Structure formats: structure tokens, C-alpha cells
Homo-oligomer: A and B are copies of this chain.
């Protein structure tokens, strides 16, 4: 079969890694793909020493690569949602396939781009957009093809996981660890996307669309970051048998889909609880397969390029057939309502400061029981020196979020209690 000709737009981390793999693994890739994978064009605004391109022409105008006659597959690895979108649309309209690692682009514009790909007869794949090297989209699309997936959850932002892991291991506050993560290059100068959960929400929307065969619905994801988690929370959770992870969670119910990103207490014995540092991991619950878990590097030059090139191999093997990114044609996707957070059910961790005098605890318990919420565990520490208040931690049983919020509002109004802070618990992860 003739060679599959590849044009890579971008020569930074992802593009550079992709070019490196295409060049260094050419023989092995040819055998595995069933045809040569030939780099024919590179688009880059400037040359980079760490990204030699041999005698492959390098274009300063990236759209030239998207239009080039000798390119069958365009790799979009410049990031962002403006020029990147132009490149993807141009390439698809020229009848090419596209591979991207760009989660923002797919999460925010995926519905129209996937429809365009089908219309033009090409494939648009994005394995590298979620959990880096971990072939989680292929697991959903191929490995779980026989399954009705009822839920999934995952640690899908390595920066956040690194920060929580460090905070827990050394009892260090959030701000200090964030600064270290920035120094190490794990976190961006503007860390908002990572620590406030936007990046995880992008990825969760892709996972959920694939798992439930629904259109991408990024704007519906509830999103809570990790900046309010304290080393004390991690310590209390540990005493109670839990670790705190920043999870993306998607669950399908008869009346709608939960889509949420937030800090979460997980039982220590669960596999996700043991995924530390910059690693990513995703857990799928299929009606036939049961629970499967996938973990590995969520970012990095070659891990991400590994996923990009795997998508190129998929396209090569498919011959002229298109590969449907979400597992089914766009016309087979069915919208489903998003469940409002008020209706989401989970158990809760509540931490607050309480005055150390009779009656306070019973008032606290009354606020919970008035909403039908019972207490599963409670920690009250003895006062330190002359401190007027002591930390109190409560684990509740499972309750609807609206009930919990009403109870917390009532607790906040109690004279002896201040600073209530709440974290959701997932037991089946």
C-alpha cells in the first residue's frame, strides 16, 4: 500500500515529539501500520534545534501544510482554539484526516469539527487530548465496544495531582506547592486552567461523549478546583481512611448525566487513590466488563507523541475508511440532559472550626439530621493551648447535594461554628 503522508503543524512539545517518533520508529511503524508513515511537511513559525526535520520542507504559514497536496494526515499541535481551528477545518475541507492533542479545541468545537470530518470523509482523532500516553479513548471506543458504560472517573490533570500529592506527603500548603510546580515546569505561569479544573473539564467532556454516545457538552461540566484544599484536609482524610484526589466524574442515570470535576475523597485501597504525582488514571464502569482502570503519564513530549502517532496508525490501518472519534457517527449521538448538581447524590466530608463547649456538637448534628443526613464518622481534636475553637470533621452518609447545602447553610449560621468546608466522597472508585 502507498505511504501515508503526514504534515505536522507545530514543532513544540507535542509536534516535536511526534516528528521524533515518526523519524526514529519509521521501520517499526511501517510494519505495524501496514504502510509507510512518511513525514512530508512541517509547519512551524520558527526552527527549533531540538526538532530536526531533515530534508522535510518547513512552512512558516501553517495553513499551507493543511492544504498541501502531498499530505494525507495533518497533525495539529499548536494549541489554542483560533489558528488551530483554522488548520483543522482547512485540512478536513481538503479531504485530509486530522490528529490533535488539543483538548480545548475538541471540547469546545468538537461537535462541529467532527461533523465536518464526516461530511468531508476524513477522520478526526484526539487520543493524546486525554490522559496523555494512556490509550483511554481507544479503550472506550474499541475495548469497551460491547459495553453500556454507566460511569467513569479519572485523575486527568497531572498538575493538580502533583500538587495534592506533594501537599499530602509533606504537609505543605497549596500556594507553596503550586509555586514549586511552576518552577518544575508542571504548571503554567497562569495555572488557572489546571488548578481550577478547566483542563480536566475539557477532558471529561470528551470522555463522557465517547462513553455515553452523546454530543460534547463542555459547558455543562460542574467545575471546582483544588485551591481550597488544605494540608489539614489531607491529614484528616488520611485518618479516616481516604486520600483526596481531583477527579473528573461522569455518570449516566435514567434522568440525565452527571458531569463534574472537583476534589474528592477516595478510599485508600482504591486504585485511583494510589495514583500519585503527575500520573493520570481513568476508571471505566461497563455493564459487561465491570470496572477497568488505566493509568500512565498524562503529559510530556514522548508520552503525548506516543498517543498522536497511535492515532496516525489507526488511520493508516483503516485504509480509506474513516475512524469515528466518538465510536459512532455524529448522527448516532443522542443528547441527554445534564443532571443539576442539586440532584447529585454523594457522601460528604465536612470540616469546620467549633467552639469547644457543650451543645455545639448536638446543634451541628441537628442541622444534618433535619435534612435526613446521618453522620458516618466524626473527628474532634482536643484544643491546642488557648485556642478558642477546635477543628471538627464529619463524614456524612450519602445525600442529595441540595439537602447537604441547606444543612451547611444552617451550620454556618450556628453561633459556635465557623469556616465550614465541604468535599465530596466517592466510595466506588
Residues on A facing B (Cβ under 8 Å): 17, 21, 25, 28-29, 31-34, 127, 133-135, 138-139, 141-148, 213, 269, 271, 274-276, 286-297, 300, 302-303, 305-307, 309-310, 313-314, 317-319, 321, 324, 327-329, 332
Q: Which residue of B lies closest to A322 (CB)?
A: B34
The 6 closest A-B pairs by CB, nearest first: A135-B143, A292-B296, A146-B309, A133-B289, A288-B306, A288-B302
In the assembled complex, which residues on chain B have CB atoms less than 8 Å from the CB atom of A296?
Answer: 289-293
Chain B residues with CB under 8 A of A302: 287-290
Q: Which residues of B contact A21 (CB under 8 A)?
A: 146, 288
> Min CB distance, A111 to chain B, in Å?
17
Give the interface centre of A293, A314, A324 by most chain B CB atoms within 10 Å: A293
- Cβ B25 vs Cβ A148 within 8 A: yes
Bound Cα distance A303, B143 (Å): 11
In angstroms, how far is the closest chain B Cβ from the Cβ of A21? 5
Check A309 against B271 for contact (C-beta < 8 Å). no
Report A155 CB to chain B, min CB distance, Å.
Answer: 12
Q: In the complex the two chains form, what is the Cα distance from A317 to B328 in whole Å? A: 11
Beyond A313-B145, A328-B32, is A290–B303 a contact (Cβ under 8 Å)?
Answer: yes
Q: Which residues of B contact A321 (CB under 8 A)?
A: 317, 319
The answer to whether B146 and A25 have CB atoms under 8 Å apart is: yes
The residue on B at minimum CB distance from A268 is B274
Q: Dominant SS at the A interface?
A: mixed
A275 to B274, CA, bound (A): 11
Give the distance to chain B from A240, nearest Cβ to Cβ, in Å.
19
Asked whether A295 lies within 8 Å of B292 as measured between CB atoms, the reply is yes
CB-based contact A310/B142 at 8 Å: yes
Task: From the candidates B271, B288, B307, name the one contacting A133 in the complex (CB within 8 A).
Answer: B288
Q: Pick the most buried of A145, A296, A302: most chain B CB atoms within 10 A of its CB.
A: A145
A133 to B21 CA separation, bound complex (whole angstroms): 30
CB distance from A166 to the nearest CB of B (A): 15
A271/B286 contact (C-beta < 8 A), A142-B310, A146-B309, A306-B146 known: no
> Is A295's CB under 8 angstroms from B274's CB?
no
Q: A32-B141, A292-B297, A293-B294 are in contact. List 12 more A-B contacts (CB 8 A).
A: A17-B288, A25-B148, A33-B145, A133-B288, A145-B310, A145-B313, A288-B302, A289-B302, A289-B307, A290-B300, A292-B296, A318-B318
A292 touches B134 (CB 8 A): yes
Chain B residues with Cβ below 8 Å from A286 are: 133, 306
Cβ contacts under 8 Å, A141 to chain B: 32
- Bound-complex Cα distance A25 to B321 (A): 24
With A274-B274, A291-B296: A305-B146 Cβ-Cβ less than 8 Å = yes
Cβ–Cβ < 8 Å partners of A307 in chain B: 143, 289
Please report the C-alpha to C-alpha distance between residue A284 and residue B318 in the assembled complex, in whole angstroms. Answer: 25
Q: Can you show 12 pairs from A to B with CB atoms below 8 A apart?
A: A21-B146, A28-B213, A32-B327, A135-B139, A142-B142, A144-B306, A146-B305, A146-B306, A147-B306, A287-B302, A289-B296, A319-B319
A276 contacts across to B, CB distance below 8 A: 269
* Residues in B whose Cβ lies below 8 Å from that of A319: 319, 321
Complex Cα distance, B138 from A295, in Å, reads 15
Distance between Cα atoms of A390 and B307 in the complex (Å): 53
User: Considering the chains assembled together, what is the distance between the CA atoms of A332 and B34 in angstroms?
Assistant: 11
Beyond A25-B146, A313-B142, is A292–B294 a contact (Cβ under 8 Å)? yes
State how many angstroms separate the Cβ of A261 from the closest Cβ of chain B: 23
| Cβ contact within 8 Å between B31 and A332 | yes
